[in-house]
Structure 1
Amino acid sequence: MIKMQYKTVAHRWFNEYFTKGDLQVLDELTTEDFIYHSRRGENTREKMKDFMVWYRKVFQDDEWTIEDMIEQNDKLVVRYTGWMTYKGGWFNIPPENQRVKETGIMIFQFSNGKVCRLWCENSDAAILFELGALKQNTHEIF
């Protein structure tokens, strides 16, 4: 059974941080030395706040569903689906108020009840395809 504390953090992450863009919730949910491991390296809590400021301008009207949660020791794996409306500001993609879908998996690592590390794999390429930034019919879709 998944710890209620872990579930609460995951729901707050999506409902307050993503949907509402509440930057202060990161201070509540993460340790001071929090690290988000991305393809570009390690990112601090402050970088995550910067990301959310950008994200709220580019995507709005979010709806997130937590599909699955798996807990192992001090980690919680969350598989999620989100829908959002693109408002412009990502690469040179024109804003058309297009609704797009993101899927992904986040791995939260906890220390003393707070998130100390985070990894995320998501479907950015699929979103770019939906927005027309990737050339149509250049690869098979499964």
Structure 2
Amino acid sequence: MTTISAVEVNKAAARRFYEEAITQGKLEVLDEIIADDGRDTASPAADITGRQGFVEHITWLRANVEGVTATVDDLIAEGDRVVVYWTIDGVQRGELFGVPDSGAGRRFTGVSISTIRFRDGRIVEYAVLPDRFGIVSQLLR
């Protein structure tokens, strides 16, 4: 019988975060992959510990980016950490990185790198470094 390693469990949870929670909007997935004391440092409500900060972040993102997709391009994992290189794509429908929605429905694509720390297969810390310059320059065209 094959046993799935903790690293593989963490990688699967990270992938679910992008594919199911962000892209598909299945926020109930967060109950399975976010620890009770999880922290989303990228959330507009970064001071909220637990799933609610993640819910608010994804809800905000999906409200401001129509048709948002978060595609996992690469995952690297070791121990309790997973680094995710991913691509975001969508149409601006609200303020993003200080750029107000022009009403033009500008499509953009950007890359981001996230670091995620896990405990017992659940996210306890999430941080993201998006290509703000690349995204903003597309929105200002």
Residue in structure 2 matched with residue 139 of structure 1 by the alignment:
none
Q: Does 1:30 align with 2:70?
A: no
**Which structure would you say has the larger RCO, counting Cα contacts within 8 Å and 6 or more residues apart?**
2
Q: Secondary structure at the match of 2:26?
A: coil
Aligned partner of 2:59: which letter?
V
Q: Which amino acid aligns with 1:37?
A: T
Query: Is the Cα contact below 8 Å between 2:11 and 2:77 reproduced in 1?
Result: no
Q: Is the 8 A contact 1:2 1:70 kept in 2?
A: no
1:78·1:105 contact (CA, 8 Å) conserved in 2?
yes
Identify the residue that residue 16 of structure 1 maps to in structure 2: 20
Question: 1:100 aligned to 2:108?
Answer: yes
Aligned residues: 133
Q: Distance in 2 between matches of 1:62 and 1:37?
A: 20
Aligned twin of 2:135: 127
- Report the TM-score when normalising by structure 1: 0.79
Secondary structure at 2:110's aligned position in 1?
Answer: strand
Once residues 43 and 62 of structure 2 are traced to their aligned partners in structure 1, the CA distance between those partners, rounded to angstroms, is 21
Identity of aligned residues (%): 23
SS of the aligned residue for 1:95 comes to: coil
Aligned residues: CA RMSD = 2.4
Report the 3-state secondary structure (helix = DSSP H, G, I; strand = E; otherwise coil) of the residue aligned with 2:24: coil
Judge conservation of contact 1:2–1:71 (CA < 8 Å) in 2: no
- Between the aligned partners of 2:54 and 2:23, the Cα distance in structure 1 is 14
Letter in 2 for 1:23: L
Provide the C-alpha distance between the structure 1 equivalents of 2:89 and 2:43, rounded to a whole number of angstroms: 23
Counterpart among 75, 78, 88 of residue 72 in structure 1:
78
Q: Aligned partners of 1:81, 1:3: CA distance in 2, in Å? A: 22
